[in-house]
């Protein structure tokens, strides 16, 4: 077992990872999905076919993956608040339990990461349909690339890779604060709702590029959060066997002092969820019958020497979480 311990800077970064997961990655992913449904109908049949496939994956994200991520953040907040709920003397008596708790939180985050990696692969598997749409609407694709390039050059924000969102009517109002630094007052003129082919091309590019990048970034944030809990569990396990009171006290107050910032980051994340859910309300309720349940049952991962379905893994990890237990009936 490593003697690695959580540093002050890692506690700060942990809060930042939680905030970035919500504000930069999750919001952009949800806006990307909404971009497919800004018009109820489209005469571009190739895009309709792509959107039909995307609907299945988007429904999994809305009904399963987003609620799971939310449950994880709630669990993280409950866990870190232990440092302020317990006195130092009580903390000393609970170190082993806290080490087990940190291990469980790491597993929860890792599970959520697995879900994101799988849905990312699902979206990516539609590349052939994406190519068909862009080939069909080649002239509009050329227009989109030129316009997106122009907009990127006018944005110095780190999220300029998501600039295509500024062209989607309705979405552009919400996306602009993320896509440009403060100071830009004028909204980019969005594509007119009657310009079906341009909307189809923009939405297709967003699914291929923006959604992919946002989910990849969210996955990276989860990796960082999971890594944090691995280090924390390791440190707590060492403390459980260590009789040096000065080291235990140092850990307790080091973490306790950072709890307000971490809790604020968790609350910031949770406050962003209603907006994300609103973005996803546009997903039509017509995915393939039983697709979500089948997805949970058929997708599997190896845990140690045991292969479990995503549904079985979720039940094991969230057996007392009402939010996750709703998945029994998705």
Q: How confident is the model at residue 315 (pLDDT cuts 50, 70, 90)?
A: confident
Neighbours of 75 (CB within 10 A): 19
| Residue 183: per-residue pLDDT | 43
Tokens of 225: 């959060």
Q: How confident is the model at residue 182 (pLDDT cuts 50, 70, 90)?
A: very low
| Rounded average pLDDT over 98-123 | 94
| Rounded average pLDDT over 263-290 | 88
Tokens of 62: 């809305």
CA distance 314 to 308: 10
Cα dihedral 249, 254, 255, 258, rounded to 10, equals 150
| Residue 159: per-residue pLDDT | 76
Residue 42 pLDDT greater than 80, yes or no: no
* Helices of type H across 161-290: 171-179, 196-205, 212-241, 245-280
| Rounded average pLDDT over 283-298 | 86
pLDDT per position as a tens digit, 121-140: 999 999 999 999 999 999 99
| Residue 185: per-residue pLDDT | 46
pLDDT per position as a tens digit, 164-176: 888 888 887 777 7
State the chain's maximal CA–CA distance in angstroms: 72
CA distance 297 to 51: 24
Shortest CA distance to 33 belongs to which of 288, 251, 231, 283? 283
Please return the burial class of 32, using the count of CB atoms within 10 Å of its CB with bins 0-12, 13-18 and 19+: buried
- For the chain, which residues make up each domain, given as ranges? 8-288
CA distance 202 to 36: 9
Q: Give the bridge partners for 302, in sequence order.
A: 307
- Please report, for residues 86, 191, 225, 239, 273, the alpha-carbon distance to residue 83 in angstroms, rounded to integers and kept in the order given: 6, 51, 18, 15, 26
Q: How confident is the model at residue 160 (pLDDT cuts 50, 70, 90)?
A: confident
Q: How confident is the model at residue 325 (pLDDT cuts 50, 70, 90)?
A: low
CATH topology of domain 8-288: 1.20.1170
Out of 2-6, 84-88, 211-215, 233-237, pick the least confident.
Answer: 2-6
Residue 181 pLDDT greater than 80, yes or no: no
């Amino acid at each position: 077992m490593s003697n690695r311990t959580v540093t002050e800077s890692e506690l700060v970064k942990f809060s930042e990872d939680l905030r970035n997961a919500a504000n930069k990655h999750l919001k952009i992913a949800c806006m990307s999905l909404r971009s497919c449904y800004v018009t109820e109908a489209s005469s571009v049949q190739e895009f309709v076919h792509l959107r039909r496939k995307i609907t299945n994956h988007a429904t999994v994200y809305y009904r399963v993956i987003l609620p799971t991520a939310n449950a994880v953040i709630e669990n993280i907040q409950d866990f870190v608040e232990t440092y302020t709920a317990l006195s130092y003397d009580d903390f000393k008596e609970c170190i082993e339990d806290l080490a087990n708790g940190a291990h469980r939180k790491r597993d929860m985050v890792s599970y959520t990461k697995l879900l994101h990696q799988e849905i990312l692969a699902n979206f990516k598997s539609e590349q052939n349909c994406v190519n068909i749409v862009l080939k069909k609407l080649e002239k509009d694709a050329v227009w989109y690339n030129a316009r997106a390039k122009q907009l990127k050059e006018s944005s110095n924000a780190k999220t300029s890779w998501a600039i295509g969102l500024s062209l989607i009517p309705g979405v552009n109002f919400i996306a602009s604060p993320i896509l440009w630094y403060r100071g830009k007052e004028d909204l980019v003129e969005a594509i007119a709702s009657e310009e079906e082919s341009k909307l189809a091309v923009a939405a297709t590019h967003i699914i291929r590029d923006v959604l992919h990048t946002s989910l990849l970034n969210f996955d990276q944030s989860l990796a960082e959060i999971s890594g944090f809990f691995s280090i924390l569990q390791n440190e707590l396990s060492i403390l459980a066997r260590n009789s040096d009171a000065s080291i235990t006290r140092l850990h307790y107050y080091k973490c306790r002092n950072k709890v307000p910032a971490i809790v604020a980051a968790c609350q910031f994340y949770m406050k962003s969820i209603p907006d994300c859910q609103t973005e996803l309300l546009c997903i039509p309720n017509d995915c393939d019958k039983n697709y979500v349940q089948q997805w949970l049952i058929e997708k599997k991962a190896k845990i140690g020497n045991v292969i479990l379905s995503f549904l079985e893994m979720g039940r094991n990890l969230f057996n007392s979480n009402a939010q996750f237990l709703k998945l029994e009936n998705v």
